[in-house]
Structure 1
Amino acid sequence: MELSGYAAGNQNLDAVFAALADPTRRAILSRLAAGEASVNEIAAPFEMSQPAVSKHLKVLERAGLIERDVDKQRRPARLKAEPMAAAVSWLGEFKRFWSSNFDQLDSLLEELKKAATKGAGNG
């Protein structure tokens, strides 16, 4: 397996995974997938202060997962999903690994079933 997590093109991978590690930030990203929102709109479903939500937004912004505009007094945030592509690609390598292992396990189980069927027919 190639060490793509260490490739020069994936320098932001650590920041993306760190941002995604928090359930509140994942919920914020899910909310922003439906469209841009202000800090107040994002904070509404959470039992936390607006400054606490703003801290989460700063982490997401540093990771490149959201961008924020200045619209008069409002600073709407919007999802910027491109940085997740590097994370998905990195995880895809492990998906191929596990798929291969599951395919081998399926083959072994089929062999065991055939052997059991032959053994039962001879008994």
Structure 2
Amino acid sequence: MEQYTVAELEDALKVVKRLLPPRYECLACYVNRMLDHGCNGLKWCTTYRDLRAPRATAMERKFPELGGYCDCEVLANVFRINDELWPHAEDGSTDDTYVPQCHKVRLGTIKPCELWLMRSGVQWGGGAFRQAKKAS
């Protein structure tokens, strides 16, 4: 049996910790962050769902209906940047070099934080992007 040093185990734990969604981070912010590690189906969406929103069982059926067949398509077709809250370059386009910190959501939801707009679709209201309603 191979023995690992404490330093090797700590390094491995750091890698695993970076791959886990922090508490209250929204699905869109998590997927946006994880796409640096590649896109392979709905891997990051299902990882998030399994760890933070296990009751969102219809996600794998609904996202493809909205054009989200893989994680990068989820960010292209299901979620969209809320232009009002992201920094803009001098030409007015969204500045992709700076990603704002997640505005956080309650545990158990796959809805995005205020930084993103979520597309409503077949069962979600006709295909328009709309902002989440603030709880009163």
After TM superposition, the score normalised by the length of structure 1 is 0.27
Higher Rg: 1
After TM superposition, the score normalised by the length of structure 2 is 0.25
